[in-house]
Amino acid sequence: MLFSEFILKPDLDFAAGEVLLIDKPLTWTSFNVVNKIRHSIKNHPTFTRDGVKLKAKVGHAGTLDPLATGLLIICTGKKTKEIDSYQGQEKEYTGTFYIGATTPCFDKEKEIDFTFPTEHITETLIRETAQQFVGVQQQTPPVFSAIWVDGKRSYDLARAGEEVELKSREIEIKSFEIEQISMPEISFRIVCSKGTYIRSIARDFGLALNSGAHLSSLRRERIGIFDVKDALSL
């Protein structure tokens, strides 16, 4: 269903709080989606109480990169207080890794900086390497990420050419399936914990293959019990 059709439903109360499932389009930032929805609902009658205009509170439960698509949970009104509970749930992603080349940001936002040999990489090696990533581990996030560093976003510092050093964090990869191999690209499905960066998995996967890799596409399929199949389109 289109979001523009959904907001016409008479039983919605955006001030009391709604949880919206949105299928984020390619190249949109998560904040683009929040702003689009805030603009669309700010004049909704539920934001008026006793003739007084209320602020249209809108927030998202977990950033998606501009070059990723898929499920974004948006909370409005009083439901914004529940955002942390959604952020903490496991995530499921599908996508592709490009094997044999790296980029500074670990995806296609930047141009390729280094290339590596791939002749030694076999299907068996790819599948065995994927299984080595399953479990609890430490992961270093990409410097091109939304993590706060001294009051600034890490990606803003990185884009300004500043040196950024991020601490590793504990994550869990619950499953890592290779769905198709068509070199130099491989398709995957990953189920993981909160705070996992698939771009970092791409980087580490390339290193584990004694080569290089970057993320060439990504789609978030699920957050906890919420599935992108049930999401609204913008």
Which is the catalytic residue, given 13, 23, 50, 65?
A: 65
Cβ count within 10 A of residue 8? 7
pLDDT, position 190: 98
- Residues 34 and 72: their CA atoms lie apart, in Å, by 10
Q: What pTM did the predictor assign?
A: 0.91
Question: Pick from 65, 75, 86, 70: which is nearest to 24 by CA?
Answer: 70
Which among 87, 105, 126 is the end of a domain?
87
Average of per-residue pLDDT values in the chain = 92
> Is 13 labeled as catalytic in the residue annotation?
no
CA atoms within 13 A on the CB side of 23: 13
Domain assignment present for 49: yes
Location of structure tokens 């996967």: 205
Of residues 124 and 154, the one with the higher pLDDT is 124
Per residue in 80-120, pLDDT (tens digit) is: 999 999 999 999 999 999 999 999 989 999 999 999 999 99
* Domain of 193, in residue numbers: 91-223
- Please give the share of the chain, as a percent, with pLDDT higher than 70: 97
Across 121-128, average pLDDT: 98
pLDDT, position 202: 97
pLDDT, position 58: 95
Per residue in 191-202, pLDDT (tens digit) is: 999 999 999 999
User: Could you tell me if 95 and 63 lie in one domain?
Assistant: no
Which among 53, 87, 121 is the end of a domain?
87
pLDDT, position 168: 84
User: Could you tell me if 210 and 144 lie in one domain?
Assistant: yes
User: Could you tell me if 199 and 129 lie in one domain?
Assistant: yes
Which among 87, 107, 140 is the end of a domain?
87
SS3 assignment for 199-233: HHHHHHHHHHCCCCEEEEEEEEEEECCEEHHHCEE
Per residue in 35-62, pLDDT (tens digit) is: 999 999 988 888 877 777 878 899 999 8
Question: Pick from 205, 105, 180, 174: which is nearest to 146 by CA?
Answer: 105
Predicted confidence (pLDDT) at residue 185 exceeds the cutoff of 90: yes
Domain assignment present for 234: no
Token pair of 64 as six digits: 């998606």
CA atoms within 13 A on the CB side of 212: 15
User: Could you tell me if 100 and 202 lie in one domain?
Assistant: yes
pLDDT, position 153: 74
- How many structural domains is the chain composed of? 2
